[in-house]
């Protein structure tokens, strides 16, 4: 099952500032909904733990993340692989930064692929829940960048 998401927003900070924020897992990762912890391996790799709960499946998702594309100050893209009770997830999340007025326009897009028993159990709940959690992350990013 694939869930695609995207949108854009503007902030009154320079593309360099926004890029530095987005590529620092210590600043970015704690904004993930239901964030539980993080372990940084190196400047491009880290693992996050987040709580998940869909229907009667509850647990902690462990997601290994990689900053797959880093073009300062224009683009940052993450790729991740993880496991959660009843399934696996593969995801991408990209941010394109463009100067706009006195700040930066952030265009974001991504996709989550969910595999396993989780898709048959939670089925129709996954997409609305995924989109809700992505919006929480984007709202958190906007607030942090103000």
Q: Is the pLDDT of residue 131 over 70?
A: yes
Total number of domains constituting the chain: 1
Average pLDDT, stretch 23-31?
94
Q: For residue 47, what are the domain limits?
A: 2-144
pLDDT, position 97:
98
* Widest Cα–Cα separation across the chain: 48
Residue 63's H or E segment, with its range, is strand 57-71
Q: Each residue of 45-69: pLDDT tens digit?
A: 999 998 876 666 677 889 999 999 9
Q: Kindly report the CATH number assigned to the domain that includes residue 139.
A: 3.30.530.20
Q: Rounded distance, CA 41 to CA 107, Å?
A: 27
Mean pLDDT score, 74-95: 90
Question: Does pTM top 0.75 for this prediction?
Answer: yes
Span 111-129, pLDDT tens digits: 988 887 666 665 666 677 7
Phi, psi of 145 (to 5 degrees): -90, 0
């Amino acid at each position: 099952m694939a869930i695609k998401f995207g949108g854009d927003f503007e902030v009154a900070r320079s593309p360099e500032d926004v890029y530095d924020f987005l590529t620092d897992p210590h600043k970015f990762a704690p904004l993930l909904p239901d964030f539980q912890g993080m372990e940084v391996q190196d400047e491009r790799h880290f693992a996050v733990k987040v709580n998940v709960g869909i229907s009667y499946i509850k647990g902690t998702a462990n997601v290994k993340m990689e900053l797959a594309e880093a073009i300062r100050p224009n683009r940052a893209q993450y790729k991740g692989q993880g496991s959660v009770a009843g399934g696996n997830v593969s995801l991408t999340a990209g941010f394109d930064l463009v100067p706009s007025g006195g700040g930066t326009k952030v265009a974001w897009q991504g996709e989550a692929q969910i595999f396993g028993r989780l898709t048959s159990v939670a089925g129709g709940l996954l997409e609305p829940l995924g989109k809700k959690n992505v919006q929480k992350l984007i709202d958190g990013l906007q607030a942090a960048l103000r």
